[in-house]
Every structure is written in structure tokens, then in C-alpha cells.
Structure 1
Amino acid sequence: MNAIKMSNGGQAGMDTSCTVRDATMSLLREAGMTTIFGNPGSTELPFLRNFPADFRYILGLQESIVLGMADGYAQATRKAALVNLHSAAGVGHALGNLFTAFKNQTPLVVTAGQQARSMLPYEPFLFAERATEFPRPYVKWAIEPARAEDVPAAIARAYYIAMEPPCGPTFVSIPIDDWDKECELIVLRSVVTGNPGNPEAIANVATRLAAARNPVLVVAAGAARDDAWNETVALAERHEMPVWVAPVSARCGFPEDHRLFAGFLPAFRQAIFKALGGHDLILALGGPLSFYHAEGFGPHLPDGADLITIGDNVAHAAWSPVGDAIVANVKSALKQLLGAPASASPAAKTVKAVKPAVSGSHFNVAYLFQQIAQLRPNDSIIVEEAPSSRDAMHDYLPIRKPDSFFTCASGGLGHGLPAAIGISLGQPTRKTIAVLGDGSSMYAIQGLWTATQLNLPVSFVIVNNRRYEALESFGRLLGVQQPVGTKLENIDFCELAHAQGMQSRRATEPRQLDEALRWSFATQGPTLVEVMVD
């Protein structure tokens, strides 16, 4: 459950008149939203006038980077973050990562400047026509308040909605001349959100689990968002269930070195059918099983298998093609399941298979991930946006602790680099390691500047294979043997880092890689390691 902590309220008879700017800053301060992510334009300047000393402004050099940083920060802190964008052009730049934030179920309050109300009938320069429609459908709620004095109330409502499960971004368009108008102070209310699930429905799941001959768990990103790591481990061990990661999950909800860890389900219908064969009950936690990447045919589930999905997203419950669904907070639901009477003790089993070590004779991504796993700090956080390298990461870089892995839930590029910056801002005592493809990095390379300015403990590891390998691999699957527009020759990431004030090293063979990783992981500030893989 999400508890939104608010103030104690105002006193009767108190004079609460002030400017819209003052009321908004007071509101944000009460909500703990004193870190603002932005790239300011002309219509945002009045909001930033007399910027409070207890706030901080995180500047990104392009709006998609701003949105990605805020996404990472909100995920790392489990609190809504404020994003300040510029009218239509800035919102347009940010839309790719807004889409990702929506798919990540990240709580964000996105504001955008609008031209003065008196100018709107004349379609002025740098205004937003039908501003609330532009970011849809990838925001939960959008508004341009009818009156200036309604702006603080609109931001408060946007905050409540962003934090209500399923969490997600909201949007408020604010005309430039609203900030200096008078209004009343808004006192944030105490709102407790979250659906623990119907007790009778959860009790029915417990009965079906106890009766199952060979149950299996599938864990998606929602289990991590609901902080259900320990409960998931306890339930798996109680019933000796193998545990799979749901297709293209953006978070890790179960230790990948656990003896019951079975692996990663591919995003293909026939492959899921094959992997889950022999199980009579499939319990999916925190997300759908049917998150397919390509067209498939045949049944969705193996013969004789029932599916139960538990998660906070009503959309997931609606679109699942088969099985039962319970809309609930995963942590609360699992606590109820763990409190139910247990069945006869099942025989202990071990599922986890260990991959053989990679020698380094071929300088490939498998060797890279193996060395990252061996050399990285114990409490470090992995952020990944290297799609063609994900299988190797699964095999050689196990995630062993909660809140230690983040990736993009949407499939769009340009999220990982700025998200790593936001995650580091939210978890500043831990080393963040961003493993990024060369193509992915170029969508947001300006983010290196912000990491340098803030001196954040981030290691950017660029997997440079000089092409969009994910496209070439998928092309081979579709019978496209020579796709066009996939070669990325002659990009020097060390020079790009140097130009933005960041230290860097390049590795072209195993000895150089180990030296570069040790140096990067031991350095307090941000660094970049470019890895030239085969």
C-alpha cells in the first residue's frame, strides 16, 4: 500500500492568501517534492523566480533526458517526482520517455509552461494547442486549469493520482501569467492508497496452491514496485516452487542466484508454453504473463495448467487472454498467502543451473557481464539498456538483492542513461552501473553532462559493437538478412565523455577490461568505460 504523507493542516481563521507560485512551492515542500527536473524555457521562468534555497533544480540538456532522470529518481525513492517542461516543443521532446514512464508505472507530476491566457486566442509563438491532449494516452490524468488560482489544487490532484496504484505520470499545463496571481494556500490531505485484495479471493488462491501438484511462480516488475522481495522468496520456499522472471520485466523481484530460480521467460507465446509445461498452477505476481514481442499461435498455457495473476494494474487484469486475476498489492496479498495453512511439506528441489565460466578468448558480451559480476561493488545497482546483450546479462550477471536492477518497460530507447542519473540521485550512497548499448547511448548522450556536473557515483559501461545488433538479430528472426540503417561506425564514446567533462577509458581486450572496470568502480564520481566487443 502507498501511504501519501501530508501536513497537519492549517488553523481556522489563518490568512492563507499568497501567490500561485508560493502556494505551489509550499505544496511541493509538504509532499517532499523539492527536487525538480527540467530544461527551462521562456514560459517556465516565472515559476523559477525566487527559487527556494531548500529546493534543487536538476538540469538536463534535452527534455527526454529530463524525463528519464525523473523516472529513475522516482523509482529509486518510491516517491513522485516533479518534471518541469516547456510548452508543446519540450513536451514533444520528452514523449518517448514519458511513454516509458507510463509503462514503468512511475509516479511523476509533469508540468509544462503555456503562453499567457490573454494571448491564447491568437495562437501565439511557443504555445501549446490543446495542451492536455498532446501527452495522452500516456498520462493518467491531464489538465490546464480554468483559472490561475486553481493551479495549486490541480498539482495536488495530479500528485494524488500519480501515486494511486497503478502509479504513473500526470500532466498539468500552466500559463505563464498564472504564477503571480493571488490564491489560497492548499493543504495536502492524508490519502492512503492501495488495494490489498479481496480476502476471500486470496484465501481461494491459498487453497489452490495447497492442492497443486507442481505449482510455479512467475515474477514481474510489479512485485519489485510493491517491495515484495522477501515475501516472494518465502512463498517460493514454502511450496518449493521454481521461479521464472516474467517476459521483459523491468525490475528484479527474486534473487537470481537462489536455488529455485528457473530463469527468464522469453516474450514469445510458444516459448512460454514450452517453458511452463508440466505445471498445473501458474501464479504470476506483479504483471502479465502474456507480454509478447511477436505474433504467436496455439494455446497460451500448457495443458492442465491454471493461471492466477496478482497485481495492482487493472489494465493487466483486463487484457490477459486466459486465467483468473486479482487486483491487489502484491506484498499484502503474499502476506495473506503466507498466513494461510500450509499443505504437506513438498520435497526440496533445486532448479538453478550455473553457466560455465567464459575464458575471454573471444572478447564478447558474455565475458563483459561475467567480469562486471565479479568486480562490481556488493551493493551496486545495475541499470541496463543494451537489448541485444540481455541474454548474456541474464546468464552472467545475476541480481541478488532487492532494488538493484532497473531497465525500460516500454522497449523505447534513450531511457537507461538518464534513468541511471536519477537512480543515483535517489540512492547516492550506492554505485550505479549503467550498461548501455552504443545505439541506445546515442539517444541520450547529453546526459553525461548532468552526471558530471552533479559528480554522481555512476559507471557508464558502453557496449560498442558498432551496430544496432538488436535490429539485426530480430531481422534474422523475420527473414530479413541484410537490414538497412543498422551500422554505427566511427563513434568515439571516450571523446564524447571527455567533451562533457567526464573521465573515460576504452577496453579492447580482457586485461584492459578488468583494469578499466576496477578503476571505474573505485572512482567516486562519474566515469565511462567503452568496451569494444566482438
Structure 2
Amino acid sequence: MTTAPTTTVREAVLDLCRRTGMTTVFGNPGSTELRMLRDWPADFRYVLALQESLAVAMAAGHALGTGRAGLVSLHSAGGVGHGLGAVFNAYRDRVPVVVVAGQQSRSLLPLHPFLGADEPAEFPRPYVKWSRQTARAEDVPAALAEAHRVAMTHPRGPVFLSVPEDDWDAPAAPVPPRAVHGAFTAAPDALAELAARLDDCARPALVVGPGVDDEGAVDAVVALAERTRAGVWISPMSGRSGFPETHPLFQGFLPPVRGQLADRLAGHDVVVALGAPLFTYHVSGDGPLLPDDCELFHLDCDPAQAAWLPVGTSVLTTLRAGVESLTSLLKPTTRPTPPPRPQVARAVPTDPPSAAYVLDALAELLPPERVLVEEAPSHREALHARVPVRRAGAFLTTGSGALGWGLPLAVGRALAGDGRVVCVVGDGSALYSVQALWTAVRHRAPVTFVLLDNGGYEAVKALGRRLGAESVPGTDITGIDFPALATSFGCPSTEIETPERLRPELLRALEPAGGGPVLVRVRVRRETGSAYPD
């Protein structure tokens, strides 16, 4: 005889969330989530975002800061639609986010009700690892437990569960605790083959992708680089750093242009890509994928990524385990150390200041323990050249390109703890998600927002100039008072238009007297160059 459950779906889900560390919930509430949200437990924190894409990005930032899955509550079909741009970013950047979406009552679904999602499990695909609406209410807690395990198994990423609003009060059994240990190491013969090639080659290179930082393998990769005396590059458009950029073996950032990428790797006879989708291009280009006589090996935990790679030998492994095993197989080397990366000249002051001049000042004043979040597409190359990242987990951006990620990502990361976060954002990017300032104020998130205002979508203009289009409509943004906008959300702000005020104002903003968020708007000079010049 089967004993009837003594708990509800809601109670079983909340118990599961406690045991998995998902007690901070990011969301924007609606009618189909009310049964889940009523009598909100005191040991849970609900973080209100003023639009659903912000909730997803905040949950992602929190996940990156805590190392646990982020939990986000979205509102049925419309709210899920709003959040999908951020879900896309989380998927490409391998961020474990558990999305629980409201759905209309089961009794109404045959009638295509207001707010109902007709095919909820299909809606977020293909940019989730797992997606479901259960056939029975009592299966919701077990489905959420499975979703969490899938999100946290490498390659990590977002998952989606749609819950009809009347399911929350249905009886259900608690879900017993269960863990999945996801680390695995490549076959010994595959690593031995790669070790032999590295021992015999003349000039190896490592290409570090976001997977290195994601899997906590930075120190293991440093040891591999030092063992092989390999030059280290960061993969194109990477959403993380993955290698200390002040290390003498660091060579720079690979461009997202086919021929240019091959040119940067010229002279290397063996290239090892680590957690990197190496051939991430932003614009079309000609030329070879790799230099002649260059052999590629690719270590990653994602079988789909391994199968997609157009050239080279892929080795399936989680990175820390694989890289440590590989390093242990290598012989001592006498090959020369590659020359250090050339340093850019310091920018000169102008009125208004250039973005390069602002970033030089930021690099001078930024404490090394700070986490840096970037979403300033016009100035990303300048930031990489001038603001070195020194430690694991200290740089976050989007490797995917859906704008509006940076501000809420920084807020979520700040709410995870570990000190003040600095967010460098462009004016165009900021306007996708400026409501995140409101949430930052309400939760006293320690974030310094450095807003570089060049009056438009300058990255789009630069891409247009690359194609020979000197004038692109819809790329100017004028008449917005960002300090006043920040103040309206309750966020302290300051404005800088001349180079003389830059350093003292930045210093005050990096250590604000009252804690909490602060916005520094810097009017910067417009650039006139093209994107990725040949």
C-alpha cells in the first residue's frame, strides 16, 4: 500500500532549493507564479528585477560568484520571451541558471488561455540544456532536481521548467538528495599522444577559452604553460579571462577574424585550445583557419563542441583533470621562452578624454582583487590592451553578443559577495538594462558603474566603416541625461567631461563613502576607425 504524500509541490520544491543552495531567487512576478510566491519563507531572498532579461542576467552573475546554480522565476510565455536574450548568453557562456516559468492552470490549457504557453518546453530551445513541462503535478519536484543536476554538469548551462500555476498546491513527495560528480579525464592514450607532440614541437601555443575559468582550472593552465614555455592567447570574444594577463607568457587576445587569427598564430607548430571554441568569428574574412604546418589539439568537456570543430584533434575531458594529467606526462623542456607581449603606449589627455585614457586611469586605480564586468563593445579591445586581469574569476562579459547583459550581471555578481564589482559599460549597452540600477539600490549592491558615453552605437559604426558604409542610420543616441536617470532610480552619480577630473572622481567612485552602487558617467571622444583593421 502506497502512503499518500504529506507535502505539496511547493513545499517539496522549497526544500530542494534549500538543499541545493538556491535560496536567492531573481524574478519579476506575475499571476501564474502567485501560488509559488505566497507566504514567502524568511530564509529565502527574492530579488526583484524590473524586466525579465535582467532577472536572468542577475541570476547568472550570482551563479558565477557563488559557484552554485542561479535560480530565476519568469512569467509564462511573455516573460520567457523577454528573458530569452539573456538565456542565450547564459547558454553560450556556460552559466548554470535554473529557469522556472509560470504557466496557466492545467484545466485552462486546452482553451489556449490568456498568458498560456502553447509549447512551453519548445519555447527556449535550442538555448537550454534541458526543457520540460511535466505531465503530472506531482512530478514537478523530481523534474526540478533533474534540471538542477543537468545545469551543474559540465558543460554547465541554463535549464527550463514550466510549472502550471495550480501544480504548486498539489500533493507531492519530497525529493531525496542526490549528487552528480561531473569531472572526468580523457583516455590516457589521447593525453599521451598530445604530450609527445608538445615534447617534440618547437614553438607551442595555448589558446585559453572561457571553460578554463568556468572549471576553476586557471592555476593548472599556468602550470602547463610554464612547463611547456608556450605562449598563451585568449580565444576570440571570450566571456572570461582564464589566464593572468600580467604573466610573462601571456601574448594577448585573438581577433574574431579568420585570416587575422591565423596570422597571430603564425610560427606556432602545435596549438592547444583549452575550453575554447577557437574559431569564433565576428565578421567574414578570407585565409586559412590556421597557419600552414600548424597542428591543433582541442581539450573540452563538451562533445558537441568537439564534434563541431572544423580541424584538429579533440580530446574530451574536464579541464582541470585533463590539464593536470597532461602536465604530469611532459618532459622538461629547454626551448626558449617566447618574447613578452608588446605594451601599448599610454594615452594622452584630450578634451573630452578618449576611452583609452579613461581605461589607463582605471587600470592605475583598480585594486587587483576587484571583479571587472564589461559591456562596452566600442572599447573592448582598448580595455583588453590596457586593463590586465590578474586572477581567476575577475573578469566577466558576454561571449555571445546579446546586449543588456552587463549591468544586471554585475548586480547579481555583487550580490554574491566578495567585495565591490566594477562594471564598464557603454551608453548603448546601458540603455538595454538601465533598470538594473533600481535593483542595485534596493539591495545595496556594491557596484561601481563606469559608463563610457560616446553618443551612439559606435561599434556598429565601426563595423559599417569596415564594409565601406560611412553612414549607418539609427546609430546616434543623444539627449539622455544619465546622471539624472541614475538619480531617479536612487543611485548616486557623477559626471566627468574633462581629463582633469577623471582620476579623483574615479577614485571616489571605486571607494564610495556610503557603500552601495554608484554611477560615473564619462563623456568620451568618438573614434573614427573601422572594426578589426587589417
Q: Which residue of structure 2 lines up, in the alignment, with residue 213 of structure 1?
A: 202
Structure 1: which 5+ residue stretches go unaligned? Answer: 1-12
2:524 maps to 1:533: yes
Structure 2 counterpart SS, 1:467 = coil
- Cα 1:397–1:458 change in 2 (3 A) is same
Q: Which residue of 1 aligns with 2:419?
A: 430
Query: What is aligned with 2:530?
Result: none
| Equivalent position of 1:8 in the other structure | none
Deviation at 1:237, TM superposition (A): 1.3
Whichever residue aligns with residue 496 of structure 1, its letter is L
Q: Is contact 1:277-1:302 (8 Å) kept?
A: yes
Do the aligned partners of 1:377 and 1:431 also contact (CA within 8 Å) in 2?
Answer: no
Equivalent position SS for 1:191: coil
| 1:352-373 superposed Cα distances (whole Å, 9 cap, x missing partner) | 2222222313510101111111
Query: Does the alignment pair 1:440 with 2:405?
Result: no
Alpha-carbon spacing, 1:429–1:162, altered in 2? closer, same or farther (3 Å)? closer
Give the aligned partner of residue 20 of structure 2.
Answer: 31
1:232 partner letter: V
1:203 maps to which of 175, 192, 201: 192
Residue 466 of structure 1 pairs with residue 455 of structure 2? yes
Partner of 1:406: 396
Aligned: 1:348 with 2:342: no
SS class of match (2:494): strand
Deviation at 1:346, TM superposition (A): 2.2
**Partners of 1:39 and 1:408 in 2: CA distance:** 22
Note the C-alpha offset of 1:215. 0.6
Q: Equivalent residue for 1:300?
A: 289
Q: Which residue matches 2:359?
A: 369
Alignment of 1:108-127 (within 5 A): 108-127=97-116
Equivalent in the alignment of 1:254: 243
1:174 aligns with 2:163: yes
Deviation of residue 162 (structure 1)? 0.8
How far apart are the structure 1 equivalents of 2:178 and 2:5? 16
Root-mean-square deviation (Å): 1.3
Distance 2:137 2:3 in 1: 22
Measured in 2, the distance between the counterparts of 1:14 and 1:432 equals 51
Of 110, 123, 132 in structure 2, the residue corresponding to residue 134 of structure 1 is 123
How far apart, CA to CA, are the structure 1 residues paired with 2:270 and 2:421?
37
1:40-439 equivalences under 5 Å are: 40-361=29-350, 363-426=353-416, 428-439=417-428
**One-letter identity of the residue aligned with 2:464:** G
Q: Which position in structure 1 is the counterpart of 2:6?
A: 17
Report how far residue 14 of structure 1 moved: 9.8
Residue 78 of structure 2 aligns with an amino acid whose one-letter code is A
Indicate the residue corresponding to 2:529 in structure 1. Answer: none
Deviates more, 1:62-71 or 1:194-203: 194-203
Which residue identity is paired with 2:385? D
CA distance in 2, matches of 1:350, 1:331: 27
Instruction: Determine the C-alpha separation between the residues in 2 that align with 1:429 and 1:214.
Output: 39
What aligned pairs does 1:478-517 form with structure 2 within 5 A after superposition?
478-517=467-506
In structure 1, distance between residues paired with 2:244 and 2:342: 14
Per the alignment, in what secondary structure is the counterpart of residue 7 of structure 2? Answer: strand
Find the aligned partners of 1:95 and 1:288 in 2 and give their Cα distance: 22
CA contact (8 A) 1:462 1:529 kept: yes
Secondary structure in 1 matching 2:373: strand
Superposition deviation, residue 347 in structure 1: 2.5
1:9 is matched with which residue?
Answer: none
SS where residue 232 of structure 1 aligns? helix
Partner Cα distance (1:330, 1:504) in 2: 42
SS in structure 2 opposite 1:210? helix
Q: Distance in 2 between matches of 1:341 and 1:42?
A: 60
Runs of 4+ in 1 over 3 A off after TM superposition: 13-16
Aligned residue for 1:309, secondary structure, equals strand
- TM-score using structure 1 length: 0.96
Question: Residues 227 and 333 of structure 2 are in contact (CA less than 8 Å); yes or no, is this contact kept in structure 1?
Answer: no
Q: Distance in 2 between matches of 1:348 and 1:93?
A: 50
CA distance in 1 between counterparts of 2:46 and 2:112 reads 30
Q: Is the 8 A contact 1:258 1:352 kept in 2?
A: no
SS in structure 2 at match of 1:58: strand
2: CA distance between counterparts of 1:140 and 1:334?
A: 25
Shift of 1:121: 1.1
Query: Share of identical aligned residues, percent?
Result: 44
State the AA in 1 paired with 2:366: R
Q: Which whole-Å CA distance do the structure 2 matches of 1:344 and 1:66 have between them?
A: 49
- Cα offset, 1:15, TM superposition: 8.3
Amino acid at match of 2:321: S
Q: Which amino acid aligns with 2:98?
A: V
2-side partners of 1:127 and 1:341: how far apart?
58
Given that 1:142 and 1:171 are in contact with CA atoms closer than 8 Å, whether structure 2 keeps it comes out as yes
* Residue 307 of structure 1: how far off its partner (Å): 0.2
Residue 79 of structure 2 aligns to a residue whose secondary structure is: helix
| Cα distance per residue 1:446-480 (max 9 Å; x no partner) | 00000000111100111100010000000011111
Write the letter of the residue equivalent to 2:251: A
Whole-Å separation in 2 of the counterparts to 1:349 and 1:278: 11
Counterparts of 2:112 and 2:272, CA distance in 1: 54
Counterpart Cα distance in 1 of 2:60 and 2:97: 7
Shift of 1:16: 5.6
TM-score (norm 2): 0.96
Report the number of matched residues. Answer: 521
Summarize deviations over 1:299-333 as a string: whole Å, max 9, x none.
21111100001111222212211101112111111
Tell me, yes or no, if the aligned pair for 2:5 and 2:171 is still in contact at 8 Å: no
Which deviates more, 444-453 or 351-360? 351-360
* Unaligned ranges ≥5, structure 2: 526-534
Helix, strand or coil for the counterpart of 1:297? coil
